[in-house]
Each structure stands twice: as C-alpha cells, then as structure tokens.
Amino acid sequence: MTFSVDPGLTLATKGDTAYRDRFELVFRRNANRPNEQWQADHTLLDLAVLGKEQSAVRPWLTIFAVFMGGPNAEQTALALHQAINPKTSPPWPISGLPDILYSDHGSDFTCVRLERVCLDAYVRLIHSRPGVPQGRGKIEPFYRTITTELLPHLPGHVPHDTNGELASDPALTLEQLDRIVEKFIVDEDNIRQHSETIQAPVESRRAPPWSSSRSD
C-alpha cells in the first residue's frame, strides 16, 4: 500500500531538514564546457595501506590526491595544483583553471589560504549551503565507483559492514595506491561512456589549458 504524505505535516512534525530532504527540488549543476566549474570534497577510503613502521593506516582521497591524516588546507592546495597542471600521463590530457570551484564548508575550503589562491588565479570560490549536501552530487558517484569497483580488489580492503575490520592484510604503500588510483582513472573511468552526456569523461572534459573567458 502507498500513502501520500502531506508536506505540511512533515514540516510540522519532523522539521525543515526532513521536509527539505524529502520534498525540495534538487538543482543539478551542469557545466556547459570543460573547466567551467569544478567540485572538491574528501572521502576516507575503505582501505588500509602501510604507514610508518608498517602500521595499517586508512588514507583519504581528494579528487585527485591520496594522503594520510585528516583533510587540511595544504592537502587541498596540493590536489588543486594536481588538477590545474598538465598530467605526466599522456592518456590524461586534462588540465587548466576552473571558472568556479564549488565545495562544502570544511575548514580547509573556507580558510584564508585557499581564498587567496582562488583570488590570485581568478577562480570564483562557492560554498554549498551548510547542511545541504544535495548540490554536491558530481563527486559522490566517482567515490562510489572507487569504493565498489576498485578497492574491494586491493589488499587491505575494509568492507562497509565489518565495523572497520580488514578483509585482508594491507600490503600497499601510499605511493603504490596513488599509482593504482591514477591508472584506474585513466584506463577505466575516464574512457567509460557517461549515461547522461553519452560521452567518455576524457572527451567531455578535454579543453585548452586556460579558459577563453579568463582575464589576462
């Protein structure tokens, strides 16, 4: 049996957050050209690698930089540097400056350092509304792909339903994981046709290094 829910009742009994999550229309941010807008976020990987003294450490992934320790302004700046500059891998011809950098309200995204970098590079920094993750929907599918298609096949995998228990002993260093993630992006994810754009990401994101609309 299916029952319709009165939006006003949801608002009155469960509050504005529950109302928004159920009834509010989600605005999908779609770029009209490469480098028009980028999104940035972090995720703790379901994987353990070998840290200092061969201890098991779960690394973080920021598209695209793999590192240990929590997200901070330095790691975010390094990921942005990686994204902007030409890649050393010829099959990954993606670089340039974005017109817009879109992120949440994490301390590394709201710090003076990142604001200064964006100001100097003529990049417009936009933060999503606090507590409203719906607008940041472009990164989550990629993280889900990494989580379901790559990590389960690597040593040190941490399945979701094991309360952090490892399925196998870690064997990779952070540097080895970095190369594996890059290879997965270049050789698999970037050449797979997207269901909405009907293009492979490597084609839809290929662009001259600098936007034609950017000021000199």
* Pairing between β-strand 124-127 and β-strand 100-103 as defined by DSSP bridges: parallel
pLDDT digits 0-9 by tens, 158-199: 998 888 899 999 999 999 999 999 999 999 988 888 776 677
Looking at residue 2, its pLDDT comes to: 39
**CB within 8 A of 213, min separation 6: which ones?**
99
**Structure token pair of residue 115:** 């604001």
Q: What percent of the chain shows pLDDT beyond 90?
A: 34
Vertex 78 angle, CA 59 and 91, to 5°: 90
pLDDT digits 0-9 by tens, 83-132: 888 888 778 788 889 999 998 888 889 999 889 989 999 999 998 877 66
Residue that is written with structure tokens 């600098």 in the block: 210
What DSSP string runs through 68-135? Answer: SSS--HHHHHHHHHHHHSPPSSTT-------SEEEE---TTTSSHHHHHHHHHTT-EEEEPPTT-GGG
> What are the chain's domains?
32-204 (3.30.420.10)
pTM: 0.75
Coil/strand/helix, residue 38:
strand
